[in-house]
């Protein structure tokens, strides 16, 4: 009996059932995938950390050390199981050439060091998570570079030291449990023991990792305290096992949490849809319920009949979602597989996503049960009296149509319906707002990042042209030549030259860190500052947002910088946004030599009637190999890849948004049409055509859509803008203001939603043609 | 009198041909201003005939002409237009729009038709309500009226666009005898102003007040009894009822 009713109901309401299924299915896929990712992440991290024998405590130190003293201390310490001191040879990125790339690592903020394989623990592993052993001439490169530069085994890595060039061949890519993630700004390259000795002759700068493996990791805090109290070296930061775990887990973890968040959003939509559908069904079957109650059918049994449909939908959707997540799993864990290596599939990999999908199922059931509590409030007499058309809705008195003289009748009826059933349309309104938000935010941000004003977030002022001269043997001589040429060029209105140097700055923990500092006159092409002003005095410095955060410096604070071999106190004059060079730059006007210059920048404006593109051609030819670009060209070159990715993301967001609006509109319209069947039959009997009635539905949905687009757009331009700023603050831009293309944001996007909703409504209301008053009477 | 409605060989199948033929080549004519009733046992196809002849449902075969215009082949939009301007409907169950007030239910189709200004439409609605004795309910919701009152609302709605013909499917079927008599009196009054009425009923007392009675059996119109125009306040109702009763007995009703 139950199966019969169920089958009939599912057949009768195919579209509504399909949409409900889809929402729960998508939510289940994402929840299962997200939790699956998290479980895989923890397992993979444990696997890598076990294989690598990751140290529990690491003290970094730059400067002299006494190895014997450390070993003695460790040997006598009750908590220590093993101890080793790792020497790292540090080189400047400008001296490193990777693969086929001929340009050195100038823009990179990575601290690059060379090491040999460790003997006791903290092993550097290959892509199979096995210990790497190298022969002379071979090098193992961190996976970060493999992914970033698409390096291959057999490619070359060269170190340029003055006139000398040492070349290695890549034989392995390495996983480094301490420095794997891209957000860790130190990377270890592994060479053979012989090559290490050779490099040691050429590279004078070194740093130490004093590493400890404890007998019991529970003692980590006590051990850390006892190390701090000891006289052992502490000229650098301390790191521990938990930090390594957090750093390794963060990137993938953020992705997994995002996926779970989207799944929660979908499940909220799904549950709202379920609730709406159940309420609509109850209202449709109001009289039947009354009859069943009147003839004494048990209420629990009736609830069971209604529940069974949703149990079947939620169970199949969750189950298929779970199975699909297993199939999708390699896609979601691809990055994790590269950086951490995956443990073989096991019961946990199947179990965790299953639990997530099962929770989705349970959540749906609980919501259905709660909604079905309405059953208890249905009075038999009231239900029987209300008849076939269900309860008389409230709100007849609102918005009387005979008081209106001009508004077309179909529009009047549409508005009246919105007034009398406002709560029902709330679901649609909320989902449309979400859709508008998801669509407009990436569109606006894409437009912002493509606009020339985005230069504000790149730490440079606006100029017609920019000349970048990167490191080469005769860089300073060329720079002089360029300046002489420009000074004599009558087409140039004004220009300024800036020297970028890599200087040592005292970090918050006292350790010296590298920082790119741009020096020169910045007043000609001023920059917008988040706080404070440009440096006007020689003892002032402006910091990029990320530098100010990491160094924990605000406007007015003192910063210590090593200039010409001496530590100098500088006052922070301002903080600006900069996403270039990893977001870590600074600007100062103190006089400087060209000793440590890593590149030069010349910004210039041309007099009015000069053709910029012609000038670019001329300068490119004359100043070769310097890069000459206008602002747009510079933006395209610097952000080209990001813009492409963002464009893809925007397209995906638009497709998802349209998909959700089509699904929710289908569900809503199908449901409401089923609910309104008798009313529509009456309308048709008194002369309303199918078109008229379809028009009313389109108008109702479009009114809701317009209101949602308006609210969604306001939210996108306020909350969305802050959200993007919060995300990009990690890259260096903390206060992004959208540059809006009104055609895209206010015409094209709403138009797409409008078309999707209109077409969906028209298709979904075609069934009104079957609502015949003759059949209603036959009932 | 000109023919306002004409059905020729109207046939309706549902399902298989043997058991599912509800109308079997029905021929029917209604003249301008005529008041015709259709009687017959349950399941004989009376209501089906009404809905098919009015274009509310689609006949399988046959032709229907309304005021000389063939309507069976009209597209949905034009058929709706025709229903709006030329036809009125009254049903046994009170098919009123539940989210509109009584007055709005009456004026709705006239607002759609746009034949007159909304002011004139409102004026006509008030006249109709006055005539049917429900003006006091003007601003009421449909939940605040009795079954008889709601049927009067349905009559006002059917007549608001001054249709050429009104189709009534058991309009008194759900009412007590007093309310039923009052509704019939109203229909007779409106019929006397020139509106043709085609009415389906089981009730001999109702049919006795109509001009011509058709008898339907198993999808066929098998008999016809002309009673002539019924004049209100003329004391011949009993005679008409007896005449009709005898005829119906002959028809095995």
**Residue A745 DSSP one-character state:** I
How far apart, in whole angstroms, are the C-alpha atoms of residue A701 and residue A706? 9
**Cβ separation A689–B80 shorter than 8 A:** yes
Q: What percentage of chain A reaches a pLDDT higher than 90?
A: 41
Q: What is the mean pLDDT of chain A?
A: 86
DSSP B171-191: TTTTS-HHHHHHHHHHHHHHH
Residue of B nearest to A407 (CA): B111
Q: What is the dihedral of CA A634, A635, A640, A642, to 10 degrees?
A: 140
User: Tens of pLDDT along A7-23?
Assistant: 777 777 787 888 889 88
Q: How confident is the model at residue A502 (pLDDT cuts 50, 70, 90)?
A: confident
Q: Smallest Cβ distance to A773: which of B56, B108, B111?
A: B56
Average pLDDT over residues A259-273: 82
CA distance A382 to chain B (A): 13
Q: Smallest Cβ distance to A402: which of B87, B103, B161?
A: B103
Residue of B nearest to A779 (CA): B93
- Which of B14, B22, B66, B99 best tests the A interface by mutation, with the highest count of A CBs <10 A? B99
Q: How confident is the model at residue A779 (pLDDT cuts 50, 70, 90)?
A: very low
Ranges A242-246, B106-110, B134-138, B196-200: which has the least confidence: A242-246
Residues of B in contact with A420 (CB under 8 A): 99
What is the model's pLDDT at position A412? Answer: 92
- Which of A394, A402, A680, A700 best tests the B interface by mutation, with the highest count of B CBs <10 A? A402
Cβ atoms of residues A705 and A757 within 8 Å: yes
What is the model's pLDDT at position A372? Answer: 86
Q: Looking at the predicted structure, is the pLDDT value of residue A355 above 50?
A: yes
A561 DSSP β-pair partners: A505, A568
How far apart, in whole angstroms, are the C-alpha atoms of residue A673 and residue A244? 57
How far apart, in whole angstroms, are the C-alpha atoms of residue B128 and residue B160? 8
Residue of B nearest to A394 (CA): B99
**Cβ separation B98–A389 shorter than 8 A:** yes
Chain A contact present for B116, CB below 8 A: no
Preceding omega of A391 cis (within 30 degrees of 0): no
What is the model's pLDDT at position A389? Answer: 43
What ipTM describes this predicted complex?
0.90
Q: Smallest Cβ distance to A689: which of B57, B76, B103?
A: B76
Q: A765: helix, coil or strand? A: coil
The angle, 0 to 180 degrees and rounded to 10, between the axes of the packed helices A631-675 and A749-764 is: 20
Q: Return the beta strands (E) in chain B as ranges.
A: 3-13, 21-31, 35-39, 61-66, 69-70, 87-90, 165-169, 196-200, 212-217, 220-226
Q: What is the dihedral of CA B163, B165, B170, B173, to 10 degrees?
A: 50
What is the model's pLDDT at position A402? Answer: 87
Backbone angles phi, psi at A512, to 5 degrees: -80, 135
Q: How confident is the model at residue A387 (pLDDT cuts 50, 70, 90)?
A: low
**Cβ separation B51–A393 shorter than 8 A:** no
Residues of A in contact with B141 (CB under 8 A): 392, 396-397
Residues of A in contact with B89 (CB under 8 A): 685-686, 773
**Cβ separation A687–B85 shorter than 8 A:** yes
Chain B contact present for A386, CB below 8 A: no
Residue A775, CA distances (Å) to A685, A693, B24, B61, B88 in order: 12, 18, 20, 20, 18
Chain B contact present for A430, CB below 8 A: no
Q: Smallest Cβ distance to B108: which of A409, A773, A777?
A: A409
Residue A640, CA distances (Å) to A449, A595, A633, A634, A636 in order: 10, 32, 10, 9, 5
User: Tens of pLDDT along A396-415?
Assistant: 556 788 888 888 999 999 99
Residues of A in contact with B161 (CB under 8 A): 687
Q: What is the dihedral of CA A144, A148, A149, A152, to 10 degrees?
A: 50
CA distance B78 to chain A (A): 8
Backbone angles phi, psi at A232, to 5 degrees: -70, 160
Cβ atoms of residues A507 and A513 within 8 Å: yes
Q: Smallest Cβ distance to A688: which of B51, B107, B112?
A: B112
Cβ atoms of residues A745 and A446 within 8 Å: no
**Cβ separation B47–A774 shorter than 8 A:** yes
**Of B143, B141, B192, B191, which is closest to residue B171 (Cα–Cα)?**
B191
Chain B contact present for A183, CB below 8 A: no
Q: Chain-centre distance of CA A611, in angstroms?
A: 40
Average pLDDT over residues A474-502: 89
Q: B86: helix, coil or strand? A: coil
pTM of the model: 0.78
Q: Smallest Cβ distance to B111: which of A389, A409, A678?
A: A409
How far apart, in whole angstroms, are the C-alpha atoms of residue A778 and residue A511? 88
Average pLDDT over residues A81-98: 88
User: Tens of pLDDT along A561-587?
Assistant: 988 778 899 999 999 999 877 788 899
**Cβ separation B48–A774 shorter than 8 A:** yes
- Which of A382, A406, A415, A686 best tests the B interface by mutation, with the highest count of B CBs <10 A? A686
Q: What is the dihedral of CA A504, A505, A506, A509, to 10 degrees?
A: -100
Residues of A in contact with B107 (CB under 8 A): 401-402
Q: Smallest Cβ distance to B57: which of A679, A689, A772?
A: A772
Chain B contact present for A772, CB below 8 A: yes
């Amino acid at each position: 009996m139950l199966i019969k009713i169920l089958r009939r109901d599912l057949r009768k309401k195919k579209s509504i059932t399909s949409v409900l299924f889809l929402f729960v299915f998508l939510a289940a896929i994402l929840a299962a995938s997200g939790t699956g990712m998290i479980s895989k992440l923890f397992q993979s991290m444990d696997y890598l950390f076990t294989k690598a024998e990751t140290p529990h405590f690491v003290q970094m130190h730059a400067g002299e050390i006494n190895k014997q003293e450390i070993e003695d201390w460790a040997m006598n310490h009750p908590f220590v199981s093993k101890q080793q001191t790792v020497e790292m040879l540090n080189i400047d990125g400008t001296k490193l050439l990777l693969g086929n790339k001929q340009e050195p690592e100038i823009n990179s903020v990575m601290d690059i060091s060379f090491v040999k394989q460790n003997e006791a623990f903290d092993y550097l592993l290959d892509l199979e998570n096995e210990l790497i052993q190298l022969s002379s001439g071979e090098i193992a490169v961190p996976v970060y570079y493999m992914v970033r530069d698409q390096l291959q085994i057999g490619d070359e890595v060269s170190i340029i030291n003055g006139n000398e060039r040492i070349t290695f061949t890549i034989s392995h890519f390495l996983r480094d449990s301490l420095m794997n993630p891209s957000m860790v700004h130190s990377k270890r390259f592994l060479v053979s023991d012989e090559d290490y000795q050779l490099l040691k002759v050429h590279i004078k700068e070194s740093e130490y990792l004093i590493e400890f493996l404890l007998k019991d990791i529970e003692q980590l805090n006590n051990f850390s305290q006892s190390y701090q109290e000891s006289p052992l070296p502490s000229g650098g930061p301390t790191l521990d096992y938990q930090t390594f775990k957090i750093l390794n887990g963060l990137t993938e973890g953020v992705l997994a949490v995002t996926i779970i968040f989207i799944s929660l959003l979908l499940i909220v939509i799904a549950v709202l849809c379920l609730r709406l559908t159940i309420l609509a069904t109850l209202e449709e079957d109001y009289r039947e319920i009354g009859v069943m109650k009147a003839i004494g059918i048990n209420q629990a049994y009736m609830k069971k009949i209604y529940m069974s449909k949703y149990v079947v939908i939620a169970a199949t959707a969750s189950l298929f979602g779970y199975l699909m997540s297993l199939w999708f799993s390699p896609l979601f864990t691809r990055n994790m597989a590269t950086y951490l290596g995956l443990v073989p599939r096991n019961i946990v990999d199947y179990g965790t996503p299953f639990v997530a999908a099962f929770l989705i199922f349970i959540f749906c059931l609980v919501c259905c049960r709660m909604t079905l509590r309405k059953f208890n409030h249905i009075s038999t007499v009231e239900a029987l009296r209300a008849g076939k058309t269900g309860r008389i809705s409230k709100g007849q008195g609102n918005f009387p149509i005979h008081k209106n003289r001009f508004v077309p009748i179909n529009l009047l009826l549409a508005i009246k319906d919105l007034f009398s059933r406002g709560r029902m349309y709330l679901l649609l309104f909320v989902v449309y707002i979400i859709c508008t938000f998801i669509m407009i935010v990436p569109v606006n941000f894409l437009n912002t990042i493509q606009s020339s004003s985005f230069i504000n977030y790149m730490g440079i002022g606006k100029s017609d042209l920019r000349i970048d001269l990167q490191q080469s043997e005769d860089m300073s001589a060329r720079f002089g030549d360029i300046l002489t040429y420009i000074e004599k060029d009558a087409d140039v209105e004004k220009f300024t030259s800036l020297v970028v140097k890599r200087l040592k700055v005292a970090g918050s923990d006292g350790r010296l860190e590298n920082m790119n500092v741009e020096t020169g006159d910045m007043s000609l092409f001023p920059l917008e500052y988040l706080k404070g002003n440009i440096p006007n005095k020689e003892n002032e410095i402006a910091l990029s947002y990320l530098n100010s955060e990491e160094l924990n410096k605000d406007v007015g604070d003192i910063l210590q910088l090593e200039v010409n071999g001496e530590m100098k106190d500088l006052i922070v004059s301002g903080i600006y946004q900069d996403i270039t060079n990893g977001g870590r730059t600074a600007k100062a006007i103190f006089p400087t030599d060209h000793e440590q210059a890593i590149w030069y920048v010349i910004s210039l404006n041309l007099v009015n009637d000069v053709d910029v593109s012609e000038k670019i051609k001329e300068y490119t030819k004359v100043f070769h190999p310097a890069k000459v670009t206008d602002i747009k060209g510079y933006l395209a070159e610097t952000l080209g890849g990001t813009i492409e990715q963002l464009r893809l993301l925007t397209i995906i967001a638009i497709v998802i948004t349209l998909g959700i609006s089509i699904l929710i509109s289908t569900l809503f319209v199908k449901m409401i049409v089923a609910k309104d069947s008798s009313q529509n039959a009456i309308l048709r009997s008194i002369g309303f055509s199918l078109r008229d009635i379809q028009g009313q539905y389109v108008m109702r949905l479009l009114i809701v859509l317009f209101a949602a687009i308006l609210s969604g757009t306001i939210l996108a331009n306020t909350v969305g803008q802050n959200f993007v700023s919060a995300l990009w603050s990690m890259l260096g831009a903390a206060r992004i203001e959208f540059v809006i293309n009104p055609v895209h944001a206010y015409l094209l996007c709403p138009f797409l939603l409008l078309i999707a909703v209109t077409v969906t409504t028209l298709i979904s209301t075609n069934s009104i043609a079957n609502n015949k008053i003759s059949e209603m009477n036959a009932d | 009198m000109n023919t306002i409605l004409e059905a020729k060989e109207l046939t309706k199948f549902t399902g298989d041909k043997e058991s599912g033929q509800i109308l079997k080549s029905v021929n029917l004519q209604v003249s301008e201003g005529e008041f015709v009733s259709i009687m017959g046992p349950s399941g004989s196809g009376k209501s089906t005939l009404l809905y098919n002849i009015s274009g509310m449902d689609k006949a399988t075969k046959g032709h229907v002409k309304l005021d000389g215009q063939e309507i069976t082949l009209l597209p949905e939009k034009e058929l709706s237009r025709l229903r709006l301007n030329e036809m009125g409907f009254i049903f046994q169950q009170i098919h009123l729009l539940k989210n509109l007030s009584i007055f709005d239910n009456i004026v709705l189709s006239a607002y759609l038709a746009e034949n007159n200004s909304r002011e004139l439409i409102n004026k006509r609605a008030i006249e109709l309500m006055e005539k049917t004795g429900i003006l006091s309910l003007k601003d009421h919701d449909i939940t605040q009226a009795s079954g008889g009152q709601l049927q009067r609302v349905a009559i006002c709605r059917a007549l608001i666009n001054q249709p050429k013909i009104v189709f009534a499917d058991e309009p008194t079927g759900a009412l007590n005898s007093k309310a039923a008599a009052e509704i019939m009196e109203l229909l007779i009054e409106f019929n006397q102003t020139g509106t043709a009425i085609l009415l389906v009923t089981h009730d001999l007392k109702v049919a006795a007040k109509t001009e011509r009675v058709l008898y339907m059996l198993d999808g066929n119109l098998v008999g016809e009894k002309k009673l002539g125009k019924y004049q209100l306040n003329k004391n011949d109702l009993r005679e008409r009822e007896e005449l009709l009763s005898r005829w119906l007995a002959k028809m095995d009703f």
